[in-house]
Amino acid sequence: MNKVEHIGIAVKSLDAGNALYEKLFGIPPYKIETVASEGVNTSFFKMGDSKIELLEATNPDSAIARFIEKRGEGVHHIAYAVTDIKAELKRLKAEGFEVINEEPKAGADNKWVAFLHPKSTKGVLIELCQDRD
């Protein structure tokens, strides 16, 4: 893993979340997009070499909707940049981590993504990210 790529924060309203973080950081998000396959709208704020991602559910069955219903708004995941996501998934699985995604999938911000289950990472949802370009 190369660095913390971003921290994902679940919010009930992307508009309200963006307004709050714009005040906090003094800048607007550099990107807002929908990831239909995950049932989320996202926005990204650049913070030095890392980013903050806000995630809003677009349907009540999405993972973000279930997370907010169970735990409320807040930190949802930590994402780490990797150079070779397939090799990293294989390595982590061999090390005993529970992999949620056997294969990387297209995610927000032009990334390939895969997740590790919080049961195997001391309660933290871990996302692996690799640039799609």
pLDDT at 66: 96
Task: Count CB-CB contacts under 10 A for residue 26.
Answer: 7
pLDDT at 133: 82
Half-sphere exposure for 94 (CA within 13 Å, toward CB): 6
Mean pLDDT, consecutive 10-residue segments, the chain of 133 residues?
Answer: 94 98 96 94 94 97 95 97 97 96 92 96 96 90
Token pair for residue 98?
Answer: 């529970």
Residue that is written with structure tokens 């998934």 in the block: 89
Residue that is written with structure tokens 């219903």 in the block: 69
Half-sphere exposure for 108 (CA within 13 Å, toward CB): 27
pLDDT at 1: 81
Chain segment 10-48, per-residue pLDDT in tens: 999 999 999 999 999 999 999 999 999 899 999 999 988
Catalogue the long-range contacts made by 45-48 (C-beta closer than 8 Å, 24 or more residues apart).
45/21
Structural element, H or E, at residue 118:
none
pLDDT at 22: 97
